[in-house]
Chains A and B, each alone.
Chain A
Amino acid sequence: MDVNELLLTALRASFVYFFLLLVVRVLGKREIGATSAFDLSVALMLGEGVDEIIYADVTIIQGVTAILVVALWHLVNSWASYKSDFIDRLTGAPPTVMVKSGKIQRKNLAKERLNEEELFSELRLTGVDNLEEVKQATLEPNGTISVLLEDWAKPVQYNDLSRSKAKMQKGKS
């Protein structure tokens, strides 16, 4: 291992870094943001190919081609699923309702291969222990469960207070 080879390694690594910086910038914040399992895979594809470039197992041109093609397909995919409902449904999982008005939707749970224990664990993580408080719990496309509370279970907001104040004033007069 002579010094020249080490210098070349450093040069290739710098090139790879700035090239990926550009690719990540163009792909945008949502594309690499790991919002879905697939975004994560794409990020892995971008990152996993570079050791061969840096250690000169492949030429720079070959490496750049592979990265560009992955990036290009991902751009085409995001654009197409934005433009077309059909492609969006084809490439992204739609949200599935797990709890509706305090009732567990067992059919949907089975469809998503989700155990009831897991559902309760997710509800606890959002601070809910009473199923009746849940207006709708949804398994979202990114794999997390969102929880909407029933109106009476929501924390008090300013407009609730002004409503009760108006009522109180009405009662007095």
Chain B
Amino acid sequence: MELTLTGIALRVSLMYLYALVLLRISGKESVSHLTAMDFVVTLIIGDLFDDVFWAEVPVLQGTVGFGTIILAHILVTYASSRNQFLHRLIASPARLVIQKGKLVQENLGREWMRPETLQFEMRLRGEEHVREIKEARLEPKGQVSMLKTASAQPVQKKDLHRFR
């Protein structure tokens, strides 16, 4: 196929619209659960499209390839939202890394996470002291969640009357 400018513009527009529609159909749910895989799927999409842009692959084949990936992703995320066993198979569980102000060394080891890494995650949230953290978990999406101990919680308005 000859690579004319109008041809490129046409194929790019076509794929752009196609991606817009399919991603809109696949919905928010698929972007919130398995972020690592969502991310990889997004990369695959971009990757599949450039071959169509340069007419190395017919438009039809590109739409089929992309459609299949999205379909598989929708099916897998849907199934894992419905079935606990499948969910555990696909997403890694949250892992406790700080408990009652102490590092849980065993779980840090399991995740190959250095204490320094945990410290930098704490600093990123403005947390300075491990002793003020009741529970911290490495969540399935890769971030670390932190819950503070009762005495280190920020004061809420409902508590002020006690001190008047």
Binding site for B on A (CB under 8 A): 1, 5-6, 9-10, 12-14, 16-18, 20-21, 24-25, 27-30, 32-35, 43-44, 46-51, 54-55, 78-79, 81-82, 88, 95, 126, 135-136, 138, 140-142, 144, 146-149, 155-162, 164-165
- What is the bound-complex CA distance between A82 and B117, given in angstroms? 10
Contacts of B47 in A (CB 8 A): 47-51
Which are the 4 A-B pairs with shortest beta-carbon distances?
A33-B142, A47-B43, A146-B123, A13-B68
Contacts of B57 in A (CB 8 A): 55
Are B64 and A32 neighbours in the complex by a CB distance under 8 Å? no
Binding site for A on B (CB under 8 A): 35-37, 39-44, 46-48, 50-51, 56-58, 60-61, 64-69, 72-73, 76, 89-92, 111-114, 116-117, 120, 123-126, 128, 138-143, 150-155, 159, 162-163
Given A18-B72, A147-B126: A29 and B140 interface contact (C-beta under 8 Å):
yes
Contacts of A156 in B (CB 8 A): 154-155
**27 residue pairs bridging A and B, Cβ less than 8 Å apart:** A9-B68, A16-B44, A16-B69, A17-B41, A17-B44, A17-B68, A21-B37, A25-B89, A29-B139, A30-B138, A34-B39, A47-B40, A47-B42, A47-B43, A51-B50, A55-B65, A138-B123, A146-B124, A146-B125, A148-B128, A149-B126, A156-B155, A157-B153, A158-B152, A159-B152, A161-B162, A164-B163
Are B48 and A82 neighbours in the complex by a CB distance under 8 Å? no
Are A158 and B153 neighbours in the complex by a CB distance under 8 Å? yes
Chain A facing B: main interface SS: helix
- What is the bound-complex CA distance between A159 and B138, given in angstroms? 27
- What is the bound-complex CA distance between A28 and B37, given in angstroms? 11
- A140 interface neighbour in B120, B126, B139, Cβ under 8 Å: B120
Are B159 and A158 neighbours in the complex by a CB distance under 8 Å? yes
Given A33-B36, A48-B47, A51-B50: A158 and B72 interface contact (C-beta under 8 Å):
no
- What is the bound-complex CA distance between A48 and B42, given in angstroms? 10
Nearest CB of A to B22, in Å: 13
- What is the bound-complex CA distance between A73 and B41, given in angstroms? 21
Other 19 A-B pairs with CB < 8 A, given A95-B120, A149-B126: A9-B65, A10-B68, A13-B68, A14-B72, A21-B76, A29-B138, A33-B141, A43-B39, A43-B43, A47-B46, A50-B44, A55-B48, A82-B114, A135-B128, A141-B117, A144-B124, A146-B123, A157-B151, A161-B163
Given A32-B39, A54-B48, A156-B155: A126 and B120 interface contact (C-beta under 8 Å):
no
